[in-house]
């Protein structure tokens, strides 16, 4: 007898067992099956609530997925926080830059004002020095010109007596009636006067009967006159007067009437 035959006989033995029939025919089984508690359990809304509860879905969800979602959310939050922090830092840097620029501008304005004040002072100082230098140049020029005129004047003054001698000599020569000598002396006198005129010397124009003028005349004496119209007039010219560069260097010596 083989093993399979043994198993078959065993199964028949169980199926034919009167105990099985007794169990199947047991009224307790029917009582259990017909028990309203079973229906109550099956119809209980709590069962549906349990089945519909989101917690059940949450439990059924993959925890790895939730962890990934949490990590992504955290990363997103961290990114937002980082962006906000970066924006705050940029804003602070911009504010600090603006404050620094304002401070730099204020300092520059102050330095510009200080430089302007110094420049004005230096400008005033330069203008004063320049004015003093111009005055100095004018003074030196005037002094040099005055010195030249003084030297020039002195030379001319030393030569004027020669002119006087020419005039007196010609008067005496006219008495001798020697026309050749008179003509020769006269030519020398004219040439000499021409040279002195080129140096700025001019004879004061005066004649008898002119009004006495203290600017050009020097009265060496007064004589009585016969008529009223000769009082205060030039009666006689003793010595010629001369002007050098519009300056009287020698007054004409005259006799006036009184």
CATH number of the domain where residue 217 is located: 2.30.22.10
Domain that holds residue 236: 200-258
Examine residue 204 and state whether it is found in any structural domain, yes or no: yes
Instruction: Provide the pLDDT for residue 36.
Output: 52
Tell me the average pLDDT across 198-224: 91
Q: What span, in angstroms and rounded, lies between the C-alpha atoms of 236 and 252?
A: 11
Helices (H) and strands (E) in the chain, counts: 8, 6
Sign of the CA dihedral running 138, 142, 145, 147 = negative
Q: What span, in angstroms and rounded, lies between the C-alpha atoms of 70 and 80?
A: 15
Neighbours of 201 (CB within 10 A): 21
Strands 201-203 and 217-223: unpaired
Examine residue 215 and state whether it is found in any structural domain, yes or no: yes
Examine residue 135 and state whether it is found in any structural domain, yes or no: no
Sign of the CA dihedral running 138, 142, 147, 152 = positive
Alpha carbons within 13 A on the beta-carbon side of 47: 7
For tokens 């001798």, the residue is: 176
Q: What span, in angstroms and rounded, lies between the C-alpha atoms of 7 and 30?
A: 31
Examine residue 222 and state whether it is found in any structural domain, yes or no: yes
Please return the burial class of 13, using the count of CB atoms within 10 Å of its CB with bins 0-12, 13-18 and 19+: exposed
Q: What span, in angstroms and rounded, lies between the C-alpha atoms of 172 and 188?
A: 16
Spell out a b/e string for 90-124, using b for 16 or more CB atoms within 10 Å of the CB, else e: eeeeeeeeeeeeeeeeeeeeeeeeeeeeeeeeeee
For all residues of the chain together, what is the average pLDDT? 77
The tokens of 183 are what? Answer: 């003509």
Residue 12, pLDDT > 80, answer no
Three-state secondary structure call for residue 216: coil
The region of weakest confidence among 49-58, 60-69, 86-95, 191-200 is 49-58
Q: What span, in angstroms and rounded, lies between the C-alpha atoms of 89 and 250?
A: 98
Examine residue 71 and state whether it is found in any structural domain, yes or no: no
Residue 23, pLDDT > 50, answer no
H or E stretch covering 236: strand 234-239
pLDDT-derived band of residue 173, with 50, 70 and 90 as boundaries? confident
For tokens 């004027």, the residue is: 160
Task: Report how many domains make up the chain.
Answer: 1
pLDDT-derived band of residue 213, with 50, 70 and 90 as boundaries? very high
pLDDT-derived band of residue 204, with 50, 70 and 90 as boundaries? very high
Beta partners for residue 250, in sequence order: 242
- Give the strands of the sheet with 201-203, arranged side by side: 201-203, 242-244, 247-250
Examine residue 137 and state whether it is found in any structural domain, yes or no: no
Examine residue 115 and state whether it is found in any structural domain, yes or no: no
Tell me the average pLDDT across 17-42: 51
């Amino acid at each position: 007898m083989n093993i399979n035959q043994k198993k078959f006989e065993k199964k028949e033995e169980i199926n034919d067992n009167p105990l099985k029939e007794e169990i199947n025919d047991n009224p307790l089984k029917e009582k259990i099956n017909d028990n309203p508690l079973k229906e109550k359990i099956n119809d209980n809304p709590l069962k549906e609530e349990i089945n519909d509860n989101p917690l059940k879905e949450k439990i059924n969800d993959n925890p790895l997925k939730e962890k990934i979602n949490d990590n992504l959310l955290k990363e997103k939050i961290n990114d937002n926080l980082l962006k906000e922090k970066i924006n705050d830092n940029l804003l602070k840097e911009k504010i600090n830059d603006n404050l620094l620029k304002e401070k730099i501008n204020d300092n520059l304005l102050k330095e510009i004002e200080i430089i302007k004040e110094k420049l004005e002072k230096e400008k005033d100082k330069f203008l004063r020095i320049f004015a003093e230098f111009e005055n100095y140049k004018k003074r030196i020029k005037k002094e040099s010109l005055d010195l030249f005129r003084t030297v020039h004047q002195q030379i001319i003054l030393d030569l004027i007596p020669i002119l006087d001698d020419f005039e007196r000599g010609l008067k005496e020569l006219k008495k001798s009636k020697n026309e050749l000598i008179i003509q020769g002396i006269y030519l020398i006198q004219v040439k000499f006067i021409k040279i002195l005129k080129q140096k700025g010397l001019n004879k004061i124009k005066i004649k008898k009967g002119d009004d006495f003028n203290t600017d050009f005349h020097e009265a060496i004496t007064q004589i009585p006159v016969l008529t009223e119209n000769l009082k205060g007039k030039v009666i006689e010219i003793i010595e010629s007067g001369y002007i050098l560069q519009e300056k009287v260097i020698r007054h004409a010596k005259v006799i006036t009437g009184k």
